[in-house]
Amino acid sequence: MLKNCKLVEFHNYKDERGNLVAIENPKNLEFPINRIYYIYGVDAKEERGFHSHKILHQVLIAISGSVKIRISTNNEEEIVELNDPAQGLYIGPMIWREMFDFSSDAVLLVLASEKYDESDYIRDKNIYLEEANNYFSNNLRKIIMKSKNLNVCYVNESDADFILSLRNDKNLGKYLSVTDNSLYNQINWIKNYKNKEKKGEEYYFKAFDSEGDLGFFRLYNIDKENKVLTFGSFIMKNNHPKYAAIESMILAMEFAFKKLKMKKVLLDVRVKNEVAKNFYNRFGFKKIDENDLDEFYELTREDYDELFANNYKNFL
C-alpha cells in the first residue's frame, strides 16, 4: 500500500436480523470526523476525484455496490476496489485520488477530518507532482549530515508510515515504549515535532542511503545552559547494512557535539536489551546508573573527540 494510505477493517455485527457496522473515534477511526458526505448515482463511464489534499485525512467506504479508487504519489500508483461496507480506505495528506468504475448501486461514503476548505485542494496534476516530489522524495530533501555511506535529513510527515512499520515490528520494537498505531496521530505528532525543531528544542532524523530509508534517531531534552542532551528513539530496519548503525551514531554525535556544542550526551536502554548495550559500550558510552528497568549511559565531548580521532574519522 502507498505511503499515507491503508485499508481499515470495521467489525461487522452480523446475526439473523442483518448487519451492523459501527465506526467510532478513536476505537476504529483514527481521526475526529468534521465532515461526512456520500457519492451515488454515478454513471459507470464517469470518473471523479482528480485532486489531492494538503492536510486532510479521509476514509472512503463503499456502503453499497463497488467503486475503484486509483491512488498515486509522484512515483507510485495503486488501484483499490472497495466493495465491502465493513472495509474502508484511509487516505492521508498528499495522495492523488481518482474514483472510477462505479457500479449502478454504488454509494461511496466519505469521512473527513476537516470541514470543506478549497485552499486545501490541489487540483492541477502538474502542481501536485511538483509538491509531491518535495513531500515524498529523499532526493529533494535537505541533507543535514552525511557520512561515507549515509545521508541524514530531518523527519517529515511523509515518514510516518515507515516510522510506524519499524516501531510496530515485533522484533525491532521489543524494547521500545508502546507506540500508537494511528497513522493520523503519527503524522500530527511529526507536525508538532517540527515546531520544536524550528525552535531548536528537539531534532528527529532519518538515515538513508542510495538504496532507500534505513532508520531513525532523535536528539531531545536539550539543556542549552548545561550543554547536555539525550540521544534516543534509535531504530534501524531489519537486515540493514553493517555501516548503518555506526555511521548513524557518529553523525548523531557530530551534530550534538559540533553543531549544538554540547558537552555531554545521555541515553538510556532497557536492562534486557543486550544487543543495544553492547553496541553503546563498544561505541564508547560509559554506564553511569541503572534501575530495575533501564541502564543509563553518557558520553562526554572530550571522550568523543578522542574516539573520533582514533576510530571514527574515516567513516565520514
DSSP-derived letter for residue 142 is P
| Strand partners of residue 212 | 209
Q: Which amino acid is at 79?
A: I
65, 58 contact by CB (below 8 A)? no
Alpha-carbon span 203 to 219, nearest angstrom: 5
3-state secondary structure of 315: helix
Other CB atoms within 10 A of residue 203 CB: 22
Sign of CA dihedral 240, 243, 248, 249: positive
Cell of 200: 531548536
52, 95 contact by CB (below 8 A)? yes
> Which one from 11, 51, 53, 240 is the annotated catalytic residue?
51
| Strand partners of residue 14 | 19
Alpha-carbon span 313 to 297, nearest angstrom: 22
3-state secondary structure of 243: helix
The answer to whether residue 11 is catalytic is no
Alpha-carbon span 224 to 272, nearest angstrom: 32
Longest CA span, the chain? 75
Residues designated catalytic = 51
